[in-house]
Amino acid sequence: MPFAISMSGICKRFGSVQANDAIDLNIASGDIHGIVGENGAGKSTLVSILYGFYKADSGQIEISGTPYTHNSPADSIAAGIGMVHQHFMLVPNFTVLENIILGHESDRDLTRSIEHARHMLMNLAHQYGLVVDLDAEVGDLPVSLQQRVEILKALYRNAKILILDEPTGVLTPQETEQLFDILRSLKEQGVTILLITHKLREIMAVTDCVSVMRGGRMIAHLNTAETTPEELAELMVGRPVQVQKQWHQTQKGEAIVKVENIHLSNADNQNLLSDISFTVHAGEIVGVAGVAGNGQSELLNILAGITAPSAGAITYHGHRIAAENPANAQTIKALGVAHVPEDRHASGIVLPFSAAENAALGYEDDVSHGYKNMFISPQQLNARCADLMQEFDVRPQHPELTSSLFSGGNQQKLVLAREMSASPSVLLVGQPTRGVDIGAIEFIHQQLINMRDSGCAIILVSVELDEIMSLSDRIMVMNNGQIMGMVNKSDASVKAIGLLMAGVQ
Amino acid sequence: MRRPLPAWVDISIMPLINIAAAFVVSGIIIALIGENPLTALTIMVKGAFVYKGALGYTLYYTTNFIFTGLAVAVAFHAMLFNIGGEGQAMIGGLGIGFVVLGLDPILPPLLIVLLAIPVAAIFGAIWGIIPGWLQARRGSHIVITTIMFNFIASSIMVWLLAGMLMAPGQMSPETRHFAEGVSLAQIHHIANALGWPMARSPLNLSFGIAIIALVAVWVLIWRTRLGYIIRATGHSEKAVIYAGHDPSRIIIITMAISGGLAGLMALNEILGVQERVILNFTAGYGFTGIAVALMGRNHPFGILLASLLFGALYQGGAELDFEFQTITKEMVLMIQGLIILFSGALALMFVPTAERIYGLFSAQDTAASDQSRSGKDSQNG
Please, are residues A336 and A424 in contact by the beta-carbon 8 Å criterion?
yes
Put residue A252 in one of left, alpha, beta given phi > 0 → left and psi -120 to 50 → alpha.
Answer: beta
Please, which residues have CB within 8 angstroms of residue B307's CB and are 6 or more apart in sequence?
B62, B63, B65, B66, B69, B292, B296
Residues B172 and B109 in one domain: yes
Where is average pLDDT lowest: A54-63, A243-252, B92-101? A243-252
- ipTM of this complex prediction, to 2 decimal places: 0.78
Give domain status of residue B104, yes or no. yes
pLDDT band at A243 (very low <50, low <70, confident <90, very high): low
Residue B136, pLDDT score: 93
Residues B294 and B331 in one domain: no
Comparing CB atoms, the residue among B3, B224, B368 nearest residue A374 is: B224
Q: Please report the domains of chain A, with CATH numbers, ordered by start residue.
A: 5-237 (3.40.50.300), 255-350+424-501 (3.40.50.300)
When pLDDT is averaged across residues B347-367 and rounded to a whole number, the result is 70
Query: Does the pLDDT value for residue B328 go beyond 90?
Result: no
Residues B252 and B353 in one domain: no
Q: What's the number of domains chain B is made of?
A: 2
The string of pLDDT tens digits covering residues A185-205 is: 889 888 999 998 878 888 888
pLDDT band at B367 (very low <50, low <70, confident <90, very high): very low
Residues B328 and B302 in one domain: no
Residues B347 and B285 in one domain: no
The string of pLDDT tens digits covering residues A138-164 is: 888 878 888 889 888 888 888 899 999
Give domain status of residue B282, yes or no. yes
- The C-alpha of B194 sits at a distance from chain A's nearest C-alpha, in angstroms, of 38
Q: What are the beta bridge partners of residue A354?
A: A402
Residue B311, pLDDT score: 93
When pLDDT is averaged across residues A260-285 and rounded to a whole number, the result is 90
- Residue B330 sits in which domain range? 1-35+324-361
Residues B1 and B127 in one domain: no
CATH of the domain at B137: 1.10.3470
Residue B373, pLDDT score: 41
Please, are residues A288 and A478 in contact by the beta-carbon 8 Å criterion?
yes
The alpha helices in A189-253, defined as continuous H runs, are 200-206, 229-237
Query: Does the pLDDT value for residue B37 go beyond 60?
Result: yes
Count CA within 13 A, CB hemisphere, residue A301.
21
Residues B29 and B65 in one domain: no
Peptide bond into A396 cis (omega under 30): yes
Give domain status of residue B370, yes or no. no
Residue of B10, B215, B226, B228 for testing the chain A interface, max A β-carbons within 10 Å: B228
Give domain status of residue B149, yes or no. yes
**% chain A with pLDDT above 90:** 28
B242–A348 C-beta distance less than 8 A: yes
Most confident region among A68-82, B186-200, B227-241 by mean pLDDT: B227-241
Where is average pLDDT lowest: A8-22, A238-252, A413-427, B345-359? A238-252
Where is average pLDDT lowest: A225-234, A376-385, A429-438? A429-438
Residues B30 and B128 in one domain: no
The string of pLDDT tens digits covering residues A396-406 is: 888 888 888 88
Q: Burial of B84 by CB count in 10 Å (0-12 exposed, 13-18 middle, 19+ buried)?
A: buried
When pLDDT is averaged across residues A105-120 and rounded to a whole number, the result is 84
Residues B118 and B182 in one domain: yes
Give domain status of residue B154, yes or no. yes
Comparing CB atoms, the residue among B227, B370, B381 nearest residue A17 is: B370
When pLDDT is averaged across residues B84-101 and rounded to a whole number, the result is 95
Give domain status of residue B379, yes or no. no
Give domain status of residue B229, yes or no. yes
**Chain A residues with beta carbon closer than 8 angstroms to that of B226:** 374
Residues B78 and B162 in one domain: yes
- Please spell the DSSP secondary structure of A431-483, one letter per residue: STTTT--HHHHHHHHHHHHHHHHTT-EEEEE-S-HHHHHHH-SEEEEEETTEE
pLDDT band at B159 (very low <50, low <70, confident <90, very high): very high
Compute the Cα dihedral for A202, A204, A205, A206 and give only its sign: positive
Residue B35, pLDDT score: 86
Which of A184, A222, A176 lies closest to A202 in space, CA to CA?
A176
Please, are residues A372 and A425 in contact by the beta-carbon 8 Å criterion?
no
A349–B381 C-beta distance less than 8 A: no
Sheet holding A457-461, edge to edge: A337-340, A426-430, A457-461, A284-289, A474-479, A482-488
Residue A464, pLDDT score: 83
Where is average pLDDT lowest: A36-50, A451-465, A484-498? A36-50
Domain boundary among B250, B282, B311: B311
When pLDDT is averaged across residues A278-283 and rounded to a whole number, the result is 93
Where is average pLDDT lowest: A65-79, A336-350, B190-204, B233-247? A65-79
**Chain A residues with beta carbon closer than 8 angstroms to that of B380:** 44-45, 48
Please, are residues B163 and B255 in contact by the beta-carbon 8 Å criterion?
no
Residues B65 and B98 in one domain: yes
Where is average pLDDT lowest: A46-60, A167-181, A325-339, B77-91? A167-181
- The whole-chain average pLDDT of chain A stands at 87
**How many cross-chain Cβ pairs, A to B, lie less than 8 Å apart?**
131
Query: Does the pLDDT value for residue B379 go beyond 80?
Result: no
The alpha helices in A189-220, defined as continuous H runs, are 200-206
**Chain A residues with beta carbon closer than 8 angstroms to that of B224:** 374-376
Query: Does the pLDDT value for residue A410 go beyond 90?
Result: no
CA distance B185 to B190: 7
Residues B24 and B82 in one domain: no
**% chain A with pLDDT above 70:** 97
Residue A132, pLDDT score: 85
Please, are residues B313 and B362 in contact by the beta-carbon 8 Å criterion?
no
When pLDDT is averaged across residues B199-221 and rounded to a whole number, the result is 94
Residue A216, pLDDT score: 86
When pLDDT is averaged across residues B158-171 and rounded to a whole number, the result is 89
CA distance A285 to B205: 64
